[in-house]
Amino acid sequence: MRRRYIVAIWLVLGLTLMTILMYNIFGVSKLSNMKTTFGVSKRNNTKTTDCNCIKIRTPDEPTNITSRDTKEEKMSTHKENTDTNKAAEQRHYGEPGYVFVGTKRMNMFPKTVNQSDLDFSNYFSDAEVKKRNLVLLGGVMKCGTGTMKTFLKEHPSIRDAVGLQVFFTYNFGIQWYLKRLPKCKENEWAFTRCTNCFMNTDSLSLINNINELIGKRLKLLFIIRNPVERMISHYTQLKAGNKTLLPPIGHWIKEQISNPNTSGALQKTRYIDYFPVWYRMVGDKNILVLEHEEFVNTPWIAMQRVEKHLGLNPFFNENSFLLRKAGKYYCYKTKGPQMEECSHNPNSKGRIHVDITEKERTILRDYFRPFNERLFKFLNVRYKWE
C-alpha cells in the first residue's frame, strides 16, 4: 500500500515536471522569433500579441514581407550587399533590433515607434521637407571617407545627420531617412556618409527618391583612390577582422579576378561601372569626385573644392590643418590650452598595409588599367595611378 503511494507521488511529480518542461518548450517556440534571420532580429517581425511590439511597414517597403517572414533563413557571418538588401526587405520598426554590416552587429531601430509615427505629416509639412539640403558622401570605402567626415563636421554650415551613417544601404522606408535629416537654413547642409552606397543599386534608387522629395537639393561627394591601393587597403581591413579564413593576398587577388562580377572588392574599385548612373541621377553640377592622394597630402585644397561645390563660405585653408612630426596624415587643427592640437587623432584611421609582391601588384594594375582609362575619359582627368 505504502509502495503504491510512493509510486503515485512519483507519478504526480513526474507529470508536473513534464508539464513545466512542455510549457517552457512551448513558450520558447513562441519566442523563437527572437532568432535571427538574415542578421535581422526577428523580434521585429512578430505581431502585437506575441511580443507587444507593433508590426510596422512603411508605404515604400516591399510587400512580399509575409512570405519571407515564414522562411527560416540561416544567418551567415559575412553579409555583402546582396544579403543586406534581402534583409532590408523584411525590416520593420518595433522593438530594438539590429543588422549586420559586414560582420559587424549594429543596433539600428529606434527604441519606440508609435503607430502615429507612420503618419508622414507628423514629422514635417511638404514645404519643410523641401528645406532639407543633403550632402551625401557616397563612398568609396577605404578612400578616406572617415576623415572627410571628421573635417566636414568642423564647418559651421554643416550639420551632421548622425543617425544616417551607413544606413542608406537598407530600405527602412523614406520617412525613416527624412526624419533624421536635420532642418537646414538656406546655406546649411545636412551631411552623412554611406561608403557602401556607391555600387548598391537599391541605395541609388532610395537616394534618388529622397532627392525628388527634398526638391532635388541633394549634392553628392565621392573620394576615389588608386585602385591597387584601395584593393590592398580593402584586403588589409578584411585581414584585420578575419585572421583565419582569408587566403594570402596573392590568392585572394586571383580569386577576386576570376569572379569579377561577384567580387564586392573589385566592384567597389571599378569606379567607371557606377559613376555614369550617379551622374545621370543628379546631373554634373551636383556631384564632386575627389582623389585620395590630394585629400591626404593637401586636405585644404580638397576641402576648398567641397566648399565651392556646396556654395559655402570659405572656412578651410592651409592653416586649418596640422601635420604632426613623423605623422603621415593631417588633422584638423584646434587651439589646445597651451598649443595647437588635433581635433581628432589623425592616426585613428589608416592601417599598415600587408606585404604584396611586385608581381601581385602588376596583376592588379593590369586588371584595372582599362577601367581607369575609361574613368579618366569620363571624368576628364588623369590621376597618377600607375
Of the pair 16, 348, the CB lying nearest ligand PPS is at 348
Q: How far is the CB of 144 from ligand PPS (least distance, A)?
A: 4
Q: Are 180 and 122 in contact (CB under 8 A)?
A: no
Of the pair 93, 191, the CB lying nearest ligand PPS is at 191
Is 384 annotated as contributing to ligand binding?
Answer: no
Query: Terminal CA-to-CA distance of the chain, rounded, Å?
Result: 96
Q: How far is the CB of 185 from ligand PPS (least distance, A)?
A: 29
Q: How far is the CB of 372 from ligand PPS (least distance, A)?
A: 18
| Rounded Cα distance, 57 and 273, in Å | 33
Which residues contribute to the site for ligand PPS (CB under 6 A)?
Answer: 141-147, 195, 233, 295-296, 329-331, 346, 349-351
Of the pair 33, 237, the CB lying nearest ligand PPS is at 237
Is 352 annotated as contributing to ligand binding?
Answer: yes
Cis peptide upstream of residue 140 (ω within 30 degrees of 0): yes
142, 183, 325, 333: which is the annotated catalytic residue?
A: 142
C-alpha distance from residue 253 to each of 230, 261, 365, 368 (Å): 12, 14, 11, 12
Looking at the DSSP assignment, which residues form a beta bridge with residue 189? 158
In this structure, what is the dihedral angle of CA atoms 262, 264, 268, 271, given to the nearest 10 degrees?
Answer: -10
| Rounded Cα distance, 197 and 331, in Å | 26
Of the pair 134, 296, the CB lying nearest ligand PPS is at 296
Angle at 368 between CA 363 and CA 370, to 5 degrees: 120
Of the pair 333, 349, the CB lying nearest ligand PPS is at 349
Q: How far is the CB of 145 from ligand PPS (least distance, A)?
A: 3
Phi/psi region, residue 91 (left: phi>0; alpha: psi -120 to 50; beta: rest), is beta
Q: How far is the CB of 102 from ligand PPS (least distance, A)?
A: 10
H helix and E strand count, the chain? 15, 12
Is 233 annotated as contributing to ligand binding?
Answer: yes
Name the residue among 289, 230, 241, 293 with its Cα closest to residue 265. 230
DSSP state of 226: -
Cβ-Cβ contacts under 8 Å for 361 (sequence gap 6 or more) = 228
| Rounded Cα distance, 386 and 384, in Å | 6
Catalytic residue flag (residue 142) = yes
Of the pair 226, 372, the CB lying nearest ligand PPS is at 226
| Rounded Cα distance, 109 and 172, in Å | 10
Of the pair 93, 167, the CB lying nearest ligand PPS is at 167
Name the residue among 64, 63, 43, 67 with its Cα closest to residue 55. 43
Q: How far is the CB of 91 from ligand PPS (least distance, A)?
A: 23
| Rounded Cα distance, 193 and 139, in Å | 7
Q: How far is the CB of 231 from ligand PPS (least distance, A)?
A: 10
Is 353 annotated as contributing to ligand binding?
Answer: yes
| Rounded Cα distance, 54 and 48, in Å | 5
Residues marked active site are found at 142
Binding site, by residue number, is 225, 233, 330, 349-353
Binding site for 3'-phosphoadenylyl sulfate, by residue number, is 225, 233, 330, 349-353
